[in-house]
Chains A and B, each alone.
Chain A
Amino acid sequence: DAGVIQSPRHEVTEMGQEVTLRCKPISGHNSLFWYRQTMMRGLELLIYFNNNVPIDDSGMPEDRFSAKMPNASFSTLKIQPSEPRDSAVYFCASSLVRTDGKTQYFGPGTRLLVL
């Protein structure tokens, strides 16, 4: 069974450009999470969805960040315009809450560098 899939794995862009990160959760999972990892702040939750509906976006840093989940098998995290301080590893994770004890399974991450 395929795990969580993220693309791209690495992204280098220039300040001001739009960046789109993609995630495909594990088939059948009904919750999807976006996390960001930096040296300064560690791992922090940006937003999560239940059944494709955003539940908590309080971790989204500012209006430059947006996330969508148009269907159960796909989500995007968009940064527009990007800034150097957005450089981080972005993880997507998914879970099946009712039967799997809230266990979250992570994708390989997208390493973003904004120049």
Chain B
Amino acid sequence: AQTVTQSQPEMSVQEAETVTLSCTYDTSESDYYLFWYKQPPSRQMILVIRQEAYKQQNATENRFSVNFQKAAKSFSLKISDSQLGDAAMYFCASVFQGAQKLVFGQGTRLTINP
């Protein structure tokens, strides 16, 4: 079975500092897509960043970047210069080859301390 695992139920960071959220996945396929979604208290699911497995270069979006380690099946999210608005639940997810269904991790609740 293809799975996505987030081993950190909760994380906290001081405002303006950097935090890394971990995600691992399990698949035997070579072609897939990886995503990080943010879910603030409003419950809206917001796309943060996307990584195609065939691309070696790590994706970046402003203060958000990923560390994609394909051999280790690891896909961590780094948030630089944390802001109060970054406080949310963060979900790692994947769409595996030949499928369209998103497989989600359990989520990591991120708290930003002022």
Q: Which residues of A contact B (CB under 8 A)?
A: 31, 33, 35, 37, 42-43, 45, 48, 50, 55-56, 89, 91, 93, 95, 97, 101-106, 108-109, 111
Contact = CB atoms under 8 A, between A and B. Distances in A.
A109 to B, nearest CB: 5
B16 interface: no
Given A43-B91, A97-B100, A104-B47, 4 more contacts: A93-B102, A95-B100, A106-B47, A108-B42
Sort chain B's interface into a size bin. Answer: 10 to 19
Given A89-B43, A109-B44, A111-B43, A102 B100 contact: yes
Given A48-B100, A95-B100, A108-B42, A103 B47 contact: yes
Contacts of A31: 100
B49 to A, nearest CB: 10
B50 A103 contact: yes
B106 to A, nearest CB: 6
Given A42-B106, A102-B33, A103-B35, A55 B100 contact: yes
5 contacts: A42-B107, A48-B101, A91-B45, A102-B95, A104-B47
